Amino acid sequence: MSHNLKKEGKFSYLEIGEGTPIVILHGLMGGLSNFDGVANFFPPIGYKILIPELPIYKMTLLRTNVKNFAKYVSQFIDHLGYDEVILLGNSLGGHIGLLCTKMYPEKVKALIITGSSGLYESAMGESYPKRGDYEYIKQKAENVFYDPAVATKEIVDDVYETVNDRNKLIRTLAIAKSAIRHNMAKDLPKMHTPTCIIWGKNDNVTPPEVAVEFDELLPDSELFWIDKCGHAAMMEHPNEFNKLLNSWLEKRKF
């Protein structure tokens, strides 16, 4: 993505296009570039894409949890001067989006989750003792996708660097524990924000039954499947992801 990051106070973010704001929340190991497909598709049809860098490794350890990230997103929305936005989150970003929607429902007019934590996730945590083993980390990164070729050397190098950085590792484990603590099963039935759920049928991290449970628990949700697809549908099948999301936004008049 050849756009420059804007830096304003504590916020660093990408801003592309004009129109209805879609705020995109990346996952724990996910970079902003994971959403290149979305960022290229939606601005020409009347949406403004905003991708903040979440302060995953920047908060003090005590404040490194899902709830504080959700507060950060709310502050980001305020900083931009929007009354309400559409939130789109993958993996941990989906969980942050869900909690932000629960805490600040008036700020979120629609929510899109894909491969989201919040109910269950097969954490990478147990494998960290092997963090020095590049081949092992490569396998773990490939396991995120249906097609292992999507896990480029650049992606594997990023994950390897993260799990071998003591500061990042401690925070990664703190976030994983916080995600398990912040299980949303009891909250979801009270959340009436229209929600689009797009899920890979072959997701090994948050398996398909998790998507079904999200759909059953949320009062106003629709679930869409992408075949031959793992944990990051917007990366692995960007065209299909964009098509499903666009038709849902059109149908719901967002």
pLDDT at 124: 45
- Over its C-alpha atoms, the chain yields an Rg (Å, rounded) of 17
Would you say 84 and 18 are in contact if contact means Cβ atoms under 8 Å apart? no
Residues 51/87, Cβ–Cβ less than 8 Å: no
Predicted local distance difference test score (pLDDT) of residue 203: 95
Tell me the domain boundaries of the chain.
6-124+180-252
Backbone φ, ψ for residue 195 (5° rounding): -130, 130
Quick one: CA torsion of 201, 204, 205, 206, rounded to 10 degrees? 40
Q: Could you report the average pLDDT of every consecutive run of 10 residues in the chain (254 residues)? A: 81 96 90 89 97 92 93 98 97 96 98 94 52 85 93 91 88 88 94 98 94 98 98 96 98 96
Question: Within a 13 Å sphere around the CA of 128, how many CA atoms are in the beta-carbon half?
Answer: 17
The dihedrals phi and psi of 245, each to the nearest 5 degrees, come to -65, -45
The whole-number pLDDT of residue 125 equals: 46
The CATH label, of 2.30.110.10, 3.20.20.70, 3.40.50.1820, 2.30.30.220, for the domain at 6-124+180-252 is 3.40.50.1820
- What pLDDT was estimated at residue 122? 56
A 10 A CB-CB count for 186 gives: 8
